[in-house]
Structure 1
Amino acid sequence: MTNTQNKTSRRSLLAERAAALGEETTLPGPDGPVVGWDTDGDQFDREEREALRRVAGLSTELEDVTEVEYRQLRLERVVLAGLWTEGTSLDAENSLRELAALAETAGSQVLDGLIQRRDKPDPATYVGSGKAQELRDIVIAEGADTVICDGELGPSQRRALEDVVKVKVIDRTALILDIFAQHAKSREGRAQVELAQLQYLLPRLRGWGDSMSRQAGGRVAGGEGIGSRGPGETKIELDRRRINTRIAKLRRDIRGMKSARDTKRSSRRAGNVPSVAIVGYTNAGKSSLLNRLTGAGVLVQNQLFATLDPTVRRAETSDGRTYTLADTVGFVRALPHQLVEAFRSTLEEAAEADVLLHVVDGSHPDPEGQISAVREVLADVDATDIPEVIAVNKADLADPETLAQLRRNHPHSVVVSARTGLGIPELLQALEDELPRPDLRVEVLLPYERGDLVSRIHSEGEVLAEQHTAEGTRVHAKVSQDLHGVLGEFAV
């Protein structure tokens, strides 16, 4: 295959990344046509999010990568580099497509990409030396200012690859951290992102020569001699100490925020309100589904990691039982361990839930891979033993054969479309069936002035029979342990 054919193949591969981020269209719904995202309600954050879009051609990056120690990421014109170390070639291509979608979410323009078949990453330059030179040629031909590698680079690998390609090199982890930094809005979310960034940066500090040193001896540059000799502290040591101090403070702050979240969660527990956590791969449609189920008006964007801050909304079953739905941050393959640790308090919304609503993008090229990646992260936060309902979303865009295969592989699943409303009643019924039910039977005679207890039985319990008599309201119901104690004095 010629170089021209190679380039055409790479371009066609990256051109398919838009397929996973399809355009908004007019679609049929259960009550008439649905246009775009009208079902998602008012999203007042959208204008602010759109204002952060980057403008092409305004790069301020320095050409010489050795001029600075560390720069904020400004991704504009990028070339991708990936390794095919295991699995099939389709798996490697899907991973590169996902990297392209991540880069575009960060505000960059993807120009080209290449995949190398290797048993393991090159310890020096991640890709082999010959491939690194080919990458350099692509960077020059395309006028790129950044190379993104589809993996986590060691500090020495990044420096060595930068020396070859002569432009900024970042890895998948730094790219995801940059997206999180753009999208975090709440105080807790910003603190979690900063903690993850500092943990990533700490082993990657570097500097050049005397400009990084505060140690002195003899007649040094400023002319000092006597009084200047002795132990000092290098610039890198100073930066490392400051970062460690900041990390310790952020961890204390996040622990304080976690206690506030635990307090809210325990208050819902005290009211015996069951909880459903919406989990799933990034851009699977979790926020759209939450808006469809509750009218929450949560920000929905057709990009990866649009949601970072969890949202909790109240809902009711068909028989009047109240429960909560919590939207959570999306997962991704090889989610950086710094993010799993930093967002642990947020991910506990899933670990503490009574039911997991696992949303899967049915139109994705590899939905089974998404399911596996999500379950790996759930295992990290000890959320594997919680009842799970799988919602195969985007049924209006998915291949019917893929949907049928997913239904066969996962019997406890429902095919839905958050945009059109397809399958929503079946999904609600599946959630109702999995929600915990009160299990203590009581038969009480409540005076008419205790209508508050009748109301609690209806909202928190399951009424089996109700009769109005001259003495009061006679109720036969199933209730929770807490309510059973309150009703004890009225038992018959």
Structure 2
Amino acid sequence: MRAYVVVPEVRTRQSSAGGPHARSAQARLDEAVGLARAIDLDIVGQGIVRIAEPRPATLIGQGKVEELKGLILAEEIGLVVVDAPLTPAQQRNLERAWNAKVLDRTGLILEIFGERARTREGRLQVELAHLNWQKSRLVRSWTHLERQRGGFGFLGGPGETQIETDRRLIQERIARIEKELESVRRTRGLHRDSRRRVPFPVVALVGYTNAGKSTLFNRLTRAEVLARDMLFATLDPTLRAVRLPGGRRVILSDTVGFISDLPTDLVAAFRATLEEVLEADLILHVRDVSHPDSAAQAADVTAILDRLGVDAEGSGRVLDVLNKVDLLDPVERGRLEASAGRQSGQVRPILMSAVTGEGEAMLLAAIDERLKGEVVHRSIDLEASDGAAVNWIYERCTVVGRSDDAETGRVRLEVDIPISRRDEFDRRFPTSGA
């Protein structure tokens, strides 16, 4: 579909907006174009519209509406993406003025999520977010929708119907989805309980969309997760085991990318997925340091973590991973290395490239060091025939070393024990040595 991308910039907010990490209008436009291209829209034009103050009827001024109308007609544009929240009235008025479908930022993100979700859980979460958005917003729906691509059909056809959305049916569907997602949460809870019984710490990857999380995930786990230079390439969570230099295994979790102005409904809907982050022993905040808006992106991720109840700056659970250093020029890289070197050990970020592998060993060592406080080490000698004792240790602890003595029939285990199980272990094996 031929599309045009518009970024409204309110002049009166320039001096007070956003603080030190405010984005430029051009950066917002580049991101909006990237979002639109993520669902294969044919971008035939783009522009920044500067306005003194938002207009209640159309957001942008009438003169600009008329100017864009001529361009939209001349270029036979079927969709206009407005990178801002639109009220239902503003959306309808612009659609009538331009005789084209209009999609605001929330609708575009929902469309991307609807197309990308692969698992049943992911699709349920996206549908829930869409229905909550639709319930209070859409009073008319577009027909002749293209359904082959997936998504929710926001990008469909040439005509508008007069059919009123049946709020009762939507609410009933929302209730059914919430019930199904509650079942998903219970299942995830059981899985987490199982992991606690086989106590591998959980390390979650978070970051702005397209920061390189999935590439890093593949690098650390040697997996084959989709990793592309594309916004929201990952929606559904993926878990894999990784062995650290000290021999301990951890569970690495790749999660959905964050983005500025992420709709509240989406944060709420993906809470079941993001529970992996909430429950994680360590969170790796992956940052694309080659991006001109890296600081603003990091601030957005921190804000979303705060909304989820994670204290990204004061909890000690977050380790910054400064990714894509291979794309920096020598001067910028030197400045970044000097800045990182001035920070103390606990908060010092790791510089790396998930593509080349540079910094991988340092990252794994840092993860190992961060998680050491979560376990105690013991050495223990057992009869090899004491299967119950050996199984107990393997099920509840991490065995980082083992030596079998065939002559004596004994086995020596080097064991990392979760702090929560230390007393239980010492009661069961009182002669074990630290």
TM-score (norm 2): 0.82
Aligned length: 391
Question: Does 2:372 align with 1:421?
Answer: no
What letter corresponds to residue 78 of structure 1 in structure 2? A
Is residue 84–residue 104 contact of structure 2 (8 Å, CA) maintained in 1? yes
CA distance 1:405–1:347, change in 2 (3 Å)? farther
CA distance 1:454–1:400, change in 2 (3 Å)? farther
What letter corresponds to residue 300 of structure 1 in structure 2? A
Alpha-carbon offset, residue 440 of structure 1: 4.9
Partner of residue 460, structure 1: 397
Separation of aligned partners in 2, 1:288 and 1:126: 39
Is residue 106–residue 175 contact of structure 1 (8 Å, CA) maintained in 2? no
> 1:346-395: CA deviations, max 9, x gaps?
01111110111111112212111111111111111112235222222222
CA distance 1:477–1:305, change in 2 (3 Å)? closer
Separation of aligned partners in 2, 1:451 and 1:141: 79
Alpha-carbon offset, residue 139 of structure 1: 1.2
Partner of residue 132, structure 1: 65
Match of 2:424 among 470, 479, 485: 485
Partner of residue 327, structure 2: 397
Question: Does 2:231 align with 1:293?
Answer: no
CA distance 1:461–1:483, change in 2 (3 Å)? farther
Separation of aligned partners in 2, 1:246 and 1:94: 38
Partner of residue 267, structure 1: 194
Partner of residue 164, structure 2: 236
Higher gyration radius (CA): 1
Q: How does 1:368-387 map to 2 (within 5 A)?
A: 368-384=295-311, 385=315, 387=317
Q: How does 1:280-319 map to 2 (within 5 A)?
A: 280-319=207-246
Partner of residue 156, structure 1: 89
Q: How does 1:321-470 map to 2 (within 5 A)?
A: 321-384=248-311, 385=315, 387-407=317-337, 411=343, 412-440=348-376, 445-450=381-386, 453=389, 456=393, 460=397
CA distance 1:436–1:246, change in 2 (3 Å)? farther
Q: How does 1:184-199 map to 2 (within 5 A)?
A: 184-199=117-132
Where structure 1 has 5 or more consecutive residues not aligned to the other structure, the ranges are: 1-75, 209-233
TM-score (norm 1): 0.72
CA distance 1:419–1:252, change in 2 (3 Å)? same
Is residue 446–residue 490 contact of structure 1 (8 Å, CA) maintained in 2? no
Partner of residue 14, structure 1: none
Separation of aligned partners in 1, 2:136 and 2:429: 66
Alpha-carbon offset, residue 308 of structure 1: 0.6
Alpha-carbon offset, residue 278 of structure 1: 0.5
> 1:402-457: CA deviations, max 9, x gaps?
44455556642122112211111111111111124455576755334347756847
CA distance 1:401–1:341, change in 2 (3 Å)? farther
> 1:67-124: CA deviations, max 9, x gaps?
xxxxxxxxx1111111223458961110110000000011101121221233542222
CA distance 1:452–1:436, change in 2 (3 Å)? farther
Question: Does 2:56 align with 1:123?
Answer: yes
Match of 2:173 among 230, 242, 246: 246
Alpha-carbon offset, residue 135 of structure 1: 1.6
Separation of aligned partners in 2, 1:487 and 1:452: 16
- Once superposed, what is the RMSD of the aligned Cα atoms? 3.0
What letter corresponds to residue 460 of structure 1 in structure 2? C
Partner of residue 146, structure 1: 79
